[in-house]
Amino acid sequence: MKANVESRTGNQVTMMVEIEAPELNKALDKAYQKLVKTVNIRGFRKGRVPRTVLEHYLGKGALLSEALEDMFPSIYSSAVSETGIKPVDTPNVEIQDLTEGGPVKLKVEVTVEPEVLLGEYKGLAVEKTVMLIDEKTVDQTLEQLREQQAQLVEPERDTVQQGDLVTIDYTGYVDGQAFPNGAATDVELEIGSGRFIPGFEEALVGAPQGDEIEINVTFPADYGSTELAGKDAVFKVTVHEIKEKVYPELNDEFAKDVSSCDTLADLRAEIRGNLEKQAQETAEDNLRNDLINLAVRNATIDVPEAMIKTEMDELTRDFEQRLAYQGLKLDVYLQAYNISREQFDGDVRAQAEQRVRTSLVLNAIAEKEGITVTSEEVDERIEQIAAGAGERADQVRSAYGRDSMRRGLEENLRLEKVVNLLADSALITVKETDAASEAEHEENAE
């Protein structure tokens, strides 16, 4: 077999592949042996039809088609290896030249990985933002711990207060008519959680247990159901049960109950240490993501549609699998969150294109810098993963014994080295911010 790239236009490559006569004849013989067992021709026993008769009966094209179909995968793999192209889609194959007893020439057109024109990726100027941990942040974490330890008890009162957990029945009406999906029974609702439309939970404060009350509200203009958006509604609600949360006191005993600390002061110090560690890790992760995004932005790439489509299919498949674990289907999820399929596909496409661009750029940097991963480095990382898996260590080693898993880990380590290169050469300015400023920044980003 001989192969050469005849032309390249953008991401499209035309490759000429020549299958020499001995190789082709061997494949034709194999195709004959296969087809002769499936054909019934009068005057001949099944499987005993001479090749010349079979070719006359089926046509020479049928025998050649069967031969090429059988041999093409290995021929194509060898041609790709010989020419060094990197296909990203299914090839289009056309018989270009065929002579009796001679070689056959195939014209193969295929989409390949694009050329990546790298821009600046070393010495990038970035800002590393580290959130300072103040006493208020520690207090918030302690309150979360108190929330987790809170007990629900029946209060001595029979009216609803803010923060109560109530069990209710309700029916909603618009223009005097009950609307679809507007009624439910035995619904648990924490007053102040914001689960229901604005005004509903607030109106329940002071409601007596056992009595039916009416609540007047207005659906938000951007409500998911267009039939209800902006409409005035009346809900008839009955509170069946009221429970209030009783929180433990913040003292040394609380610290002993929720941690290995002996005092509340020790617990506060431990929380602060953990939060500061998390803040540093988050800052480092954000820094590395910023560096990657800058390197990608500085590069020039014409990403083939085939690569984006493949990545979109994978992202969508993964998302559908995650939904399936929750007992949901994609169309149900989209309807529940009022997301059109066009909007979903658009979001997935943007994410897919960014992922493809990122992968191409990082791999291009790795090739330019000669970054490789040794077998020993892969073994070391497998042992690290196994050590963290505890009793599942043997399962981890077994899983990474498979070639595909090992290759995937090797690729991850290679890209990890690329990101380390970006970080080691970056010009980093450290900025400290408090929790309030960070929350405002995230809100503005959204």
The chain-wide mean pLDDT, for the chain, equals 89
What CA–CA distances, in Å, run from 421 to 87, 127, 357, 379, 425?
A: 28, 17, 18, 22, 6
Please give the residue that has the higher pLDDT: either 120 or 338.
120
The model's confidence at residue 102, banded by pLDDT at 50, 70 and 90, is: low
pLDDT of residue 99: 64
- Model confidence at 276, in pLDDT bands (50, 70, 90)? very high
The answer to whether 49 and 57 have CB atoms below 8 angstroms apart is yes
Q: How far apart are CA 188 and CA 167, in angstroms?
A: 5
With a cut of 50, say whether residue 92 has pLDDT above it.
yes
Parallel, antiparallel or unpaired: strands 427-433 and 125-131: parallel
User: Residue 140: helix, strand or coil by DSSP?
Assistant: helix
d(CA 69, CA 74): 10
Is residue 288 over pLDDT 90?
yes
Are 114 and 11 in contact by the 8 Å Cβ rule? The answer is yes
The answer to whether the CB of 165 falls within 8 A of the CB of 152 is yes
Confidence of residue 304 (pLDDT cuts 50, 70, 90): very high
C-alpha to C-alpha distance for 72 and 79, rounded to whole angstroms: 10
Nearest to 303 by CA among 6, 10, 46, 9: 10
| 151-246 CATH choice from 3.10.50.40, 2.60.120.590, 3.30.450.30, 3.40.50.1100 | 3.10.50.40
pLDDT tens by residue, 193-203: 888 999 999 99
Of the listed ranges 72-81, 93-102, 104-113, 360-369, the one predicted with least confidence: 93-102
**What's the pLDDT score for residue 187?**
92
pLDDT digits (tens, 9 = 90+) for 321-376: 999 998 889 988 888 777 889 999 999 999 999 999 999 999 999 999 999 999 99
The answer to whether residue 97 scores a pLDDT higher than 50 is yes
Is the pTM of the predicted complex or chain greater than 0.85?
A: no
User: Which pLDDT belongs to residue 273?
Assistant: 96
pLDDT band at residue 436, thresholds of 50, 70 and 90? Answer: low
**Res. 25: pLDDT tops 90:** no
Q: 305: closest CA among 297, 313, 315?
A: 313
Using pLDDT thresholds of 50, 70 and 90, give the confidence band for residue 238: very high
Q: Give me the numbers of helices (H) and strands (E) for the chain, helices first please.
A: 14, 11
Q: Is 51 exposed, middle or buried (0-12, 13-18, 19+ CB in 10 A)?
A: middle
Which residues on adjacent β-strands are paired with residue 151? 246
Mean pLDDT along residues 235-252: 94
pLDDT at 443 over 60: no
Domain 2-111: give its CATH architecture.
2-Layer Sandwich (3.30)
The predicted pLDDT at position 395 comes to: 85
Q: Check whether 119 has a pLDDT greater than 50.
A: yes
Q: Is the pLDDT of residue 394 over 70?
A: yes
For residue 47, is pLDDT > 50?
A: yes
Instruction: Name the pLDDT band for 446 (thresholds 50, 70, 90).
Output: very low
Find the length of the chain.
446
**Rounded mean pLDDT, 380-395:** 85
Give residue limits of the domains in the chain.
2-111, 151-246, 255-445
Confidence of residue 80 (pLDDT cuts 50, 70, 90): very high
CA-to-CA separations, 160 to 77, 110, 154, 202, 218, in angstroms, rounded: 72, 69, 11, 10, 22
Query: For residue 365, with 0-12 CB atoms within 10 Å meaning exposed, 13-18 middle and 19 or more buried, which class applies?
Result: buried
**With pLDDT > 70 as the criterion, what percentage of the chain qualifies?**
96
Q: Which CATH architecture has domain 255-445?
A: Orthogonal Bundle (1.10)
Using CA atoms, how far apart are residues 95 and 111, in angstroms rounded to an integer? Answer: 19
